[in-house]
């Protein structure tokens, strides 16, 4: 009975199809949680909307681009100051957000004029910025504003600017995943092939599905520089808008996050014949394997081995120090989707950590296939987990640390379980060799936080007073 109906779900029995407990000896092919399906209203799901999948996750990372959000103010306000993706130009992308500030009259009479005016203003106010992405939101999609036509008009009036439009209102799809898809496909349809890059190396790649969280892209860039590999486009960590227009010229697409950006790699393969190579950038074994594959593709294996040897010499002793102290730690991962399968085996191999429960907000079937293949028996695999389910799962598996977002982190703190930010990291970057030592350090410091022991101590013992009553 590997599909599990939790106690808290007795009134929503359809949740049974979304929760899988892997059992030894069973044919896991018969049991795949349903995913990428509509959320049950009122369940306190963790999911966001497709607009945020496009703007906050992918488009908003670009360091030279105005993010014009065509809608009421909240969609802009809420997707600002919620991510940690720095850049090497002073973090322009984290400092600003733009909105057309739609009001009732624009809903009634249409918002295209307001959008056009807002776009011109934005370029006027920041004359050094020449690139823009325009997003629809729920109400502007519902009233049918033609943002593509407006973008065309603005580009005609300003020959030196380029504008991309992304039509993925919050209600589209079932989660942020839909927004990833819309932006990927739109970009390859409209923008790839419109800029020719300067080629500076015999070896060129696009690095896809990495958003420079706390400097991930910048850390990996050191490896590519040392290997003599030119990265034509980072999709989209620390990237310029025009870098991504030149993606068609890379010899190889290296894909990290296949969920948010696998789509564009597939299209680049179809349209330009660029092969796709999936790697994992988190973890020593995986990172080394990824570098080996990339170097094998270019026939520069020796360079790759030299790099790996240098990095191992520098970082492996530090990793092992943590491994010694973390072995046997029980970890839960409640994040978006791919990090489940990126991390479950790497923390086990590199750190001796056992992942006991995983929940994905927006993973698809292929993500669950991967994570169940890589993950342990006795581990729960959950699609679109909700708050009551989390409480129950915690009771069942008793994790020592949870990698999740800050809000859930605050919740589990009350249960004396430390969290590490699984989206934006605590003190990253976490990718690459150095990064995984950072992850290990953050996990160690979380698990060994002395406050947790103090929190569990009832200083009134042995005189038993029910704490609950006292607190009421």
Partner 1 sequence: MGCEISTRERAGIINPMYDCQPAGAQYAGIGIKDCIPLVHGGQGCTMFVRLLFAQHFKENFDIASTSLHEDSAVFGGHKRIEDGVMVLAQRYPDLRVIPLITTCSTEVIGDDIEGTIHRCNLALKKEFPGRKIHVVPVHTPSFKNSQVGGYSECMLSIIKSLTSAKAAPSGKLNLFPGWVNPGDVVLLKRYLSEMGVDGTVFMDTEDFDSPMLPDKSIHTHGRTTVEDIQGSANAMASIALARYESAAAAQYLKTEFDVPYTLAQTPYGIGNTDAMLQTISQITGKPIPDSLIKERGVALDALQDLAHMFFADKRVALYGHPDLVIGLAQFCLEVELKPVLLLLGDDNSRYKKDPRILEMKKTVDWDMEVFCNADLWELEKRAKDPDTKIDLILGHSKGRYVAIDHNIPMVRVGFPTFDRAGLYRQPTMGYQGAMLLGESIANTLFAHMEFNKDREWLLNTW
Binding positions for partner 1, 4-63, rule CB under 8 A: 8, 11-12, 38-49, 51-52
Residue 419 CB neighbour total at 10 angstroms: 23
Q: Among 244-252, 270-278, 326-334, 412-420, which window interacts with partner 1 (CB under 8 A)? A: 412-420
Question: Which residue's CB is nearer to partner 1, number 306 or number 452?
Answer: 452
Q: How far apart are CA 12 and CA 6, in angstroms?
A: 10
Residues 6+ positions from 412 with CB-CB distance below 8 Å: 390, 394, 402, 404, 418, 419
Q: How far apart are CA 80 and CA 411, in angstroms?
A: 23
Task: From 114-122, 227-235, 351-359, 437-445, give the range in contact with partner 1 by CB under 8 A.
Answer: 114-122
Question: Cis omega (within 30 of 0) on the bond before 60?
Answer: no
What is the per-residue DSSP string for 127-189?
A: TT--EEEEEE-HHHHHTT--HHHHHHHHHHH-TT-EEEEE---TTSSSSTHHHHHHHHHHHHH
Binding flags for partner 1, 65-104, as an x/- string (CB under 8 A):
---x--xxxxxxxxxxxx------------xxxxxxxxxx
- Show the site string, 325-344: x = touches partner 1 by CB under 8 A, - = not: --------------------
Which is closer to partner 1, CB of 177 or CB of 184?
177
Distance CA 445, CA 427 (A): 11
User: Under rule CB under 8 A, which residues in 142-171 are in contact with partner 1?
Assistant: 142-143, 169-171
Minimum distance, C-beta of residue 108 to partner 1, in the bound complex (Å): 10
The CB-of-49 to partner 1 minimum distance in angstroms stands at: 3
Structure tokens at 229: 């590999």
Instruction: Identify the residue among 33, 262, 336, 405 touching partner 1 (CB under 8 A).
Output: 405
Phi and psi at residue 231, in whole multiples of 5°?
-90, 110
Instruction: Please report whether residue 431 would count as binding partner 1 according to CB under 8 A.
Output: no
Looking at the Cβ atoms of 142 and 199, the one nearer to partner 1 is: 142
Torsion region of 129: left, alpha or beta (phi above 0 gives left; psi -120 to 50 gives alpha): beta
Considering only 310, 378, 410, 427, the residue that binds partner 1 (CB under 8 A) is 410
Q: Which residues between 172 and 191 bind partner 1 (CB under 8 A)?
A: 172-175
Q: Report the site for partner 1 in 369-388 (rule: CB under 8 A).
A: 387-388
# chain residues binding partner 1, by CB under 8 A: 81
**Nearer to partner 1 by C-beta: 313 or 459?**
459
**What is the C-alpha to C-alpha distance for residues 391 and 262, in angstroms, rounded to an integer?**
33
**Tokens of residue 140, six digits:** 């502007």
Query: Tokens in use for 105?
Result: 């009259």
């Amino acid at each position: 009975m590997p599909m599990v109906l939790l106690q808290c779900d007795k009134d929503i029995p359809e949740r049974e199809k979304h929760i899988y407990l892997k059992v030894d000896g069973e044919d896991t092919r018969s049991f795949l949680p349903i995913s990428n399906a509509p959320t049950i209203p009122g369940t306190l799901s963790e999911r966001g909307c497709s607009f945020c999948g496009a703007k906050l996750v992918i488009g908003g990372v670009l360091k030279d681009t105005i993010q014009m959000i065509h809608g009421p103010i909240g969609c802009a306000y809420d997707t600002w100051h919620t991510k940690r993706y720095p850049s090497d130009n002073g973090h322009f992308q984290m400092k600003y957000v733009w909105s057309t500030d739609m009001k009732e009259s624009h809903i009634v009479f249409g918002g295209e004029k307001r959008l056009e005016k807002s776009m011109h203003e934005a370029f006027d106010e920041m004359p050094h910025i020449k690139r823009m992405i325009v997003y629809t939101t729920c109400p502007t999609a519902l009233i049918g504003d033609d943002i593509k036509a407006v973008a065309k008009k603005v580009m005609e009036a300003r020959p030196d600017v380029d504008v991309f439009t992304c039509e993925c209102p919050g209600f589209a799809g079932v989660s942020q995943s839909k927004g990833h898809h819309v932006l990927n496909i739109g970009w390859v349809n409209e923008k790839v092939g419109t800029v020719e890059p300067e080629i500076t190396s015999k070896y060129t790649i696009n690095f896809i599905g990495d958003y420079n969280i706390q400097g991930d892209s910048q850390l990996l860039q050191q490896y590519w520089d040392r290997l003599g590999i030119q990265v034509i486009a980072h999709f989209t960590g620390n990237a310029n808008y025009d870098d991504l227009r030149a993606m068609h010229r890379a010899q190889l697409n290296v894909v990290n996050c296949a969920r948010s950006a696998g789509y564009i790699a597939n299209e680049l393969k179809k349209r330009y014949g660029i092969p796709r190579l999936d790697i994992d950038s988190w973890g020593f074994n995986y990172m080394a394997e990824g570098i080996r594959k990339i170097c094998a593709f270019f026939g520069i294996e020796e360079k790759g081995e030299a790099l790996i040897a240098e990095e191992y010499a520098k970082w492996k002793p530090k990793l092992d120090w943590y491994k010694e102290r973390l072995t046997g730690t029980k970890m839960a991962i409640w994040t978006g989707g791919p990090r489940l399968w990126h991390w479950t085996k790497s923390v086990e191999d590199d750190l001796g950590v056992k992942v006991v429960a995983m929940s994905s907000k927006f993973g698809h079937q292929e993500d669950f296939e991967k994570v169940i293949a890589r993950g342990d028996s006795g581990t729960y695999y959950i699609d679109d987990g909700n708050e009551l389910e989390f409480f129950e799962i915690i009771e069942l598996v008793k994790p020592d640390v949870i990698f999740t977002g800050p809000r859930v982190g605050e919740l589990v703190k009350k249960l004396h379980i430390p969290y590490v930010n699984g989206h934006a990291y605590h003190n990253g970057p976490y990718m690459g060799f150095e990064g995984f030592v950072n992850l290990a350090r953050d996990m160690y410091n979380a698990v060994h936080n002395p406050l947790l022991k103090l929190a569990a101590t009832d200083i009134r013992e042995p005189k038993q007073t029910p704490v609950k009553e006292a607190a009421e």
